[in-house]
Structure 1
């Protein structure tokens, strides 16, 4: 197996572990949410013990990503390049969003998108083991 394929598999294994941790914690959280609220979407910050370090390795420091899209945008500050990079499993996506401004400023953010049965979940790291979730049916 080529080196890049071995490296890719190692990254995807980290994503699988992240997915398992998140699903376990989210199911406990979802049981307490009213069905009607999920129709409109629910945003919440939760702590998932042990996920911070794994998130850093598997999402933030991951350098084996595929380019999903690039786009030149206009803003009142000038033009900027917006790019999205992704690693994906069947129903889980780890995204890196990069904006490069004409001033030279670079903004980078990360998110993970999961599909759990009939729920869509977006998760972003706030700090350490604290994450912001957005759930919607």
Structure 2
């Protein structure tokens, strides 16, 4: 059964909402970085309540994502399934990574990507509620 277009558009609008806020919040941090250091990439941490609230709603609880990658792997502790789900609307991408182990254990993580003005940005939520941001220039 195909996904209703309005449901997909709602999910993508949430992605854009979060992406716009990330752009706004990170802009000051990026202006303080040395462009030469960006060639190799830098990581820094950001603490922001508004980002945290929107992350929960727009990334973690966003129910519509397309299947991007699926793999079954054998490991020393048994087989497991790895799947990646993706939402993308240029220049924003959100990914959900799901691993299901043969023991029944399920692990889920999320990442948000932004590519703009020669900059690649990856955002992940840390367990303490802060955000780890990796930024690199790609020119």
TM-score greater than 0.5 by the shorter chain: yes
Give ranges in structure 2 of 5+ residues lacking alignment.
none
For residue 90 of structure 1, report the CA deviation from its aligned partner.
1.4
User: Where does structure 1 differ by over 3 angstroms across 4 or more consecutive aligned residues?
Assistant: none
| SS at structure 1 position matched to 2:4 | helix
Contact (CA 8 Å) 2:11, 2:63: kept in 1 or not?
no
Larger deviation: 3-12 or 99-108?
Answer: 3-12
Match of 1:122 in 2: 122
How big is the alpha-carbon RMSD for the aligned residues of Structure 1 and Structure 2?
A: 1.8
Match of 2:59 in 1: 59
Larger deviation: 124-133 or 96-105?
Answer: 124-133
For residue 4 of structure 1, report the CA deviation from its aligned partner.
2.0
Give ranges in structure 1 of 5+ residues lacking alignment.
none
- Count of residue pairs the alignment pairs up: 136
Match of 1:106 in 2: 106
TM-score, L = length of structure 1: 0.91
For residue 128 of structure 1, report the CA deviation from its aligned partner.
7.2
TM-score, L = length of structure 2: 0.89
**How many Å separate the matches in 2 of 1:98 and 1:4?**
24
